[in-house]
Amino acid sequence: MSTRTVLHDADIQRALRRISHEILESNKGADDLVILGIPTRGVNLAHRVAQLVAEVSGAEIPVGSLDVTMYRDDLHRHPTRTPQPTQIPPGGIDGKTVVLVDDVLFSGRSIRAALDALQDIGRPAAVRLAILVDRGHRELPIRPDFVGKNLPSASDERVNVRLTEVDGADEVTIES
């Protein structure tokens, strides 16, 4: 098995800064913006993006987490991980623009599950998707609004996102 690093710390920071600017531009500012991360690493990325958006806009951005474990349609094929708490910021999501943040977009099934989970929580005005790495191979018609890096990969390769908060370092690697 070989592993190669495709994004280093500075690349990830640059991608998150660009995503943050694109979110502000798309939303025409920070009003009625809520950022929700999908556990595990999506939550860390959501906090980073919210901080960067706040630095640029001067507004504090509500940030939370949205666990999708029990909404997945592939639980029978993949061992389930322990569900994480869903944390919706005060003020909720009704009538807000919700930006879902995740680390890797592959089949689209996690995002479909996130949309189902959001429906049980409230009714946002709009839902946008921010992804650090889009590796293709979609099984569902889901496309991100904000992408850090498009990373074409073979379906049998594994893309690993490591973040300082969880893994002690920032990097994206591909294992083949």
- Please check the confidence at residue 141 and state whether its pLDDT lies above 70: yes
Report phi then psi at 132, rounded to 5: -70, -45
User: What would the two tokens of residue 172 be?
Assistant: 């994206």
| pLDDT tens string 64-101 | 999 999 898 876 676 667 788 899 999 999 999 999 99
Query: Higher pLDDT residue, 111 or 75?
Result: 111
According to DSSP, residue 176 is labeled -
- CA 56, chain centre distance (Å): 20
State the residue for tokens 């690093």. Answer: 5
Maximum distance among all alpha carbons in the chain?
48
Task: State the burial class of residue 51 (Cβ atoms within 10 Å of its Cβ: 0-12, 13-18, 19+).
Answer: middle
Which of 53, 142, 56 lies closest to 102, judged by CA? 142
Mean pLDDT estimate for the chain: 95
Domains delineated in the chain: 9-74+85-156 (3.40.50.2020)
pLDDT, tens digit, for every residue of 50-74?
A: 999 999 999 999 999 999 998 988 7
The pLDDT value recorded for residue 1 is 84
Residue with tokens 């556990």: 39
> What does pTM read for this prediction?
0.95
